């Protein structure tokens, strides 16, 4: 799902499954090259909405990331959640 899909979804109403799919798309590079930071961010948001799968995927992805990348992804997730 690309950025256009994100614009049409109300973040308050979106469920964990939606954000998990965004994380998978970012990690696979469905609409661009793979983006670990964005994937981690979306998995964070999905996990915050109760997805155990997203939490597992986030942990697997974090094993491939630097501390700075993880920190940035966490900050972006917090900013997204605060703005929603």
- The pLDDT of residue 46 is 96
Sign for the CA dihedral angle at 7, 11, 15, 19 comes to: positive
Tell me the Cα Rg of the chain.
12
pLDDT tens digits, one per residue of 6-34: 456 666 677 899 999 999 999 999 878 99
- The pLDDT of residue 8 is 62
pTM of the prediction?
0.83
> Tokens representing 5?
């899909």
Are 34 and 64 in contact by the 8 Å Cβ rule? The answer is no
Q: Helix (H, G, I), strand (E, B), or coil: what is residue 4?
A: helix
pLDDT tens digits, one per residue of 33-82: 999 999 999 999 999 999 999 999 999 999 999 999 999 999 999 999 88
Are 16 and 50 in contact by the 8 Å Cβ rule? The answer is yes
């Amino acid at each position: 799902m690309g950025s256009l899909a994100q614009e049409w979804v109300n973040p308050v109403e979106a469920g964990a499954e939606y954000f998990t799919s965004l994380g998978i798309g970012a990690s696979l590079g469905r609409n661009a090259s793979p983006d670990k930071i964005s994937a981690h961010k979306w998995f964070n948001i999905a996990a915050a909405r109760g997805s155990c799968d997203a939490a597992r995927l986030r942990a697997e992805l974090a094993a491939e990331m630097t501390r700075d990348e993880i920190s940035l992804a966490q900050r972006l997730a917090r900013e997204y959640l605060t703005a929603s």
